[in-house]
Amino acid sequence: MTSTVQSPVRRTSKPQWPVRNAQGARTGSRVAPLFGLPATGIVALLLYLPFLWTTYISFTEYNGLGSPIWVGLTNYKAMFSDPDLVGALTNTLLWVVGMVTLPVVLGLLVAVLTYGHRWGTWLRLPFLLPYAISGVAVGVIWGFVLQPDGALGQALGFFGLPGASTGWLQAGPGNTLMMIVAVTWQAAGVNALLFVVGLQSIPAEPLEAARLDGAEGFRLFRYHLWPQLRPITTVVIGLSIVGSLKTFDVVWVMTQGGPGTSSETLALSMYKETFVLNDYGQGAAIALFLSLVTFAASVLYLRYQLADGDTR
């Protein structure tokens, strides 16, 4: 009997797949994918099938009872000819612009100004705490702040400043802008945290070299920090775009899309058409349109950013 001593498997940087046994036969290659079946089944059942069903419903007239009636592109035509839905689309775009500027810029400022500071963690804390609050709670709190005799009005009145009796939420597009401010209050902190993580990943040596060369303040930020923060900025802006396209909770709590439809977003229109008007077909059309816009925006943005990064 001879014993064969097998040479240890050489570790490589990439995992070997499929795994081969001593005879070189592939093992597990047929069985392993089966382990993914339950998860695939659940995702298909809970995500892909409803998506396909929603797509089908968007081409029908359906009130949730009985059978859907095929109407082709009618719901899509109605969507783009209804001035209220066009208004909702405009408001949604306003949210995208607002959310990729205000919370991102504020988060970046907080991160850069506090990074490396002795009390940095404590200085960032007040910005980070609101993130622990749910969107609905943010809506409730800011609803009380912004109502005509609310906290903001009373504070302005107390200091004798103008605007004490302004109806902050009572006319568009001002109401949408005020709600963006409310969400900025909540979102800036987590953006700051992400930017701090980005700052921590920057190697110290090039920065020291830059400082030795006399780079300080804004010059240091513009030519050294900002370029190296690019990966994390991509993530922060990408998340902001996706989050703002599906804005619903804060608007629903603060104005329910009103007065009239002045602060309605596409997500709110989708909810209203489906669950208030029971027009499931129209609601599904908006849902599909919103999904496609979100998907396209995410893919285009990330492809652009990541492709650009790869060429560096």
Partner 1 sequence: MARIANRTTALTALAVAGALALSACGGGGGSPAAKGEDKPVDSLKFYNDKGGWKEAFVQVGAASKKDIGVGMEPVGYSDSNAYTAFVRSSFRTKEKADLFSWHTGKELEDLVDQKLVAETTDQWTKAVADGNIPEQLKQYFTFDGKQYCVPLNAGYWVMYYNKAVFKKAGITATPKTWTELLAVADKVKAAGVKPFYQTNILFSFVWFETLLAGKDPDLYDALAAGKAKYTDPGVVEVMNDWKKMLDAGLFSDPGSKTEPQAQLKSGDVAMINFGTWFSGNLNTLKMKAGTDYDFFVIPNVNPALPKTSMIFETGPVCSAAQSDHASTVTKWTDWWVTPQAQTAWANSRGDLSFNPKAEVKDPGLATLNKDVGGDGYRLINRWFEATPVPVATKALEVFGAFVTKPGDPMPGLQKIQDEADKYWAKQK
User: Which spans of this chain sit near partner 1 (rule: CB under 8 A)?
Assistant: 30-31, 34, 37, 41, 45, 63-66, 84, 140, 143-144, 147-149, 167, 169-171, 256, 258-262, 271-272, 274-279
CB nearer to partner 1: pick between 125 and 171: 171
What's the closest the beta carbon of residue 261 comes to partner 1, in angstroms? 5
CB nearer to partner 1: pick between 87 and 107: 87
CB nearer to partner 1: pick between 25 and 212: 25
| DSSP E strand boundaries for the chain | 60-61, 69-70
Query: Tell me, what DSSP letter sits at residue 70?
Result: E
What's the closest the beta carbon of residue 59 comes to partner 1, in angstroms? 18
SS3 30: coil
What's the closest the beta carbon of residue 230 comes to partner 1, in angstroms? 42
CB nearer to partner 1: pick between 88 and 100: 88
- The DSSP bridge partners found for residue 61 are 69
How far, rounded to the nearest angstrom, does the alpha carbon of residue 66 sit from its chain's CA centroid? 36
- Neighbour count for residue 288 (Cβ, 10 Å): 20
CB nearer to partner 1: pick between 64 and 116: 64
Q: Which two tokens stand for residue 16?
A: 């070997």
What's the closest the beta carbon of residue 198 comes to partner 1, in angstroms? 39
Burial of 200 (0-12, 13-18, 19+ CB in 10 A): exposed
Amino acid at 40: T
Residues with Cβ within 8 Å of residue 194, at least 6 apart in sequence: 107, 232, 235, 236
What's the closest the beta carbon of residue 288 comes to partner 1, in angstroms? 19
CB nearer to partner 1: pick between 144 and 295: 144
What's the closest the beta carbon of residue 157 comes to partner 1, in angstroms? 15
Determine the Cα–Cα distance for residues 142 and 84; give it in Å rounded to an integer. 25
Amino acid at 210: A
Cβ atoms of 174 and 168 within 8 Å: the answer is yes
Cβ atoms of 92 and 266 within 8 Å: the answer is yes
